[in-house]
Amino acid sequence: MKALVYQGPNKKALEERPMPEIAQPTDAIVKILKTTICGTDLHILKGDVPTCAPGRILGHEGVGVIEKVGAAVTAFHQGDHVIVSCISACGKCDYCRRGMYSHCVNGGWILGNKIDGTQAEYVRIPFADTSLYHIPAGADEEALVMLSDILPTGFECGVLNGKVEPGSSVAIVGSGPIGLAALLTAQFYSPGEIIMIDLDDNRLDIAKRFGATAIINNKDGKAVETVMKLTGGRGVDTAIEAVGVPASFITCEDIVAPGGIIANVGVHGVKVDLHLEHLWDRNIAITTRLVDTVTTPMLLKTVVSHKLEPAQLITHRFKLDRIMDAYETFGDAAKTHALKVVIEA
Ligand SMILES: [Zn+2]
Ligand SMILES: [Zn+2]
């Protein structure tokens, strides 16, 4: 089968690989129908993710059809259409029993990281019963690719941890796919204001279309000043960091209102200064999280009922044999205006 393989920092190739096989009775083999590329894959390719060794098939998102199941799998059968979750969960360890699947001691984020991933014709999914989701008949399967990672990530790490409430004020720093996923799902709670901050006018225009009440291009470095003006000098109740660089986290520190929350979503590769000399008396909270995907069943219902329309995030489509072009398009988003690129296997 064809698979996109990480070959070490800045090296990847579409290779011919053997079909994956059932290794444990709890495994399933899924034939991938559609997959996508995540910002995290670009982090891996930069060499930022030491757990991911050269030779690994990348990808932790996708939808597909069950090809084969191990003897202990009871919830899925050959031919079932499924969403692959970016988090594999054994369902039995202490963390899983607490709903913190991201820290499952037998799984967690292993797909396309510590085990071969979804950017291939077939993938082996461990703990299939608790790591796959049934796709209801008639659902738009392409839209459901957004449920593998970005929608639960934006929602759980940004909106839920940030405690977005009716009438509250929210700022989202970063208008990429994850920031936009937080923007879409924040609207479940009818916040009064959602301010999007980015450096790219195209992404900000999309944010406006997706429901942002204000957009700020921080090219001039005046985003903090503008947020303060928009909020009568208070700042925002929820500041969501959706980039993963020091400057954007510090923007969140500067715009959080007394009593507010900074909800970090971004993947940080270097240290960030925490200005406690300004924040110590402001009754704020800072949260971090790796997505648990506990909200995937709920989000699936909102997509099926068209309350949430994640297909809007898809800008480009490629066949698997052109996945190298897909990476180029996704990696050069400023020029190509790419958000999510869907790859058809
Ligand atoms: Zn991802
Ligand atoms: Zn577990």
What are the residue ranges spanned by the domains of the chain? 2-148+292-344, 152-287
* Residues comprising the chain, all counted: 345
Nearest residue to 236 via CA among 215, 210, 217, 254? 254
Q: Tell me the per-residue pLDDT of 266-324, one tens digit each, with 9 for 90 and over.
A: 988 899 999 999 999 999 999 999 999 999 999 999 999 999 999 999 999 999 999 99
String of DSSP letters for 252-265: HHHHEEEEEEEEE-
Asked whether this chain's domains 2-148+292-344 and 152-287 adopt the same fold, the reply is: no
User: Considering every ligand atom, which ligand is closest to the CA of 84?
Assistant: 1
Q: How far is the centre of ligand 2, averaged over its atoms, from the C-alpha of 89 (Å)? A: 5
* Spatial contact of 262 and 241, defined as CB atoms under 8 Å apart: yes
Q: How far is the centre of ligand 1, averaged over its atoms, from the C-alpha of 51 (Å)? A: 15
Q: Which two structure tokens, joined as six digits, stand for 113?
A: 């990281």
Region of 178 on the Ramachandran plot (φ > 0 left; ψ -120 to 50 alpha; else beta): alpha
User: How much helix, strand and coil, in percent to the nearest 5, is found in the chain?
Assistant: 35, 25, 40
Q: How far is the centre of ligand 1, averaged over its atoms, from the C-alpha of 112 (Å)? A: 10
pLDDT number for residue 269: 84
Q: Tell me the per-residue pLDDT of 201-216, one tens digit each, with 9 for 90 and over.
A: 999 999 999 999 999 9
Q: How far is the centre of ligand 2, averaged over its atoms, from the C-alpha of 74 (Å)? A: 18
pLDDT number for residue 301: 96
Q: How far is the centre of ligand 2, averaged over its atoms, from the C-alpha of 111 (Å)? A: 14
pLDDT number for residue 120: 98
String of DSSP letters for 104-150: -TT-BS-BTTTB--SSBSEEEESSHHHHEEEPPTT--HHHHGGGTTH
User: Considering every ligand atom, which ligand is closest to the CA of 39?
Assistant: 1
Q: How far is the centre of ligand 2, averaged over its atoms, from the C-alpha of 146 (Å)? A: 23
User: Considering every ligand atom, which ligand is closest to the CA of 42?
Assistant: 1
Q: How far is the centre of ligand 2, averaged over its atoms, from the C-alpha of 313 (Å)? A: 31
pLDDT number for residue 2: 98
Rounded Cα gap, residues 93 and 311, in angstroms: 34
Q: How far is the centre of ligand 2, averaged over its atoms, from the C-alpha of 107 (Å)? A: 6
pLDDT number for residue 42: 94
Residues of the chain with pLDDT under 50: none
Q: Which two structure tokens, joined as six digits, stand for 114?
A: 């510590």
Q: Which of 1.10.1060.10, 3.40.50.720, 3.40.50.300, 1.10.287.110 is the CATH number of 152-287?
A: 3.40.50.720
Q: How far is the centre of ligand 2, averaged over its atoms, from the C-alpha of 126 (Å)? A: 11
Residue in the block written with tokens 């503008």 = 226
**CATH top-level class of 2-148+292-344:** alpha beta
**b vs e for 206-216, b when ≥16 Cβ sit within 10 Å of the residue's Cβ?**
bbeebebebbb
pLDDT number for residue 141: 95
Rounded Cα gap, residues 306 and 82, in angstroms: 19
Amino acid identity at 157: C
Rounded Cα gap, residues 119 and 32, in angstroms: 8
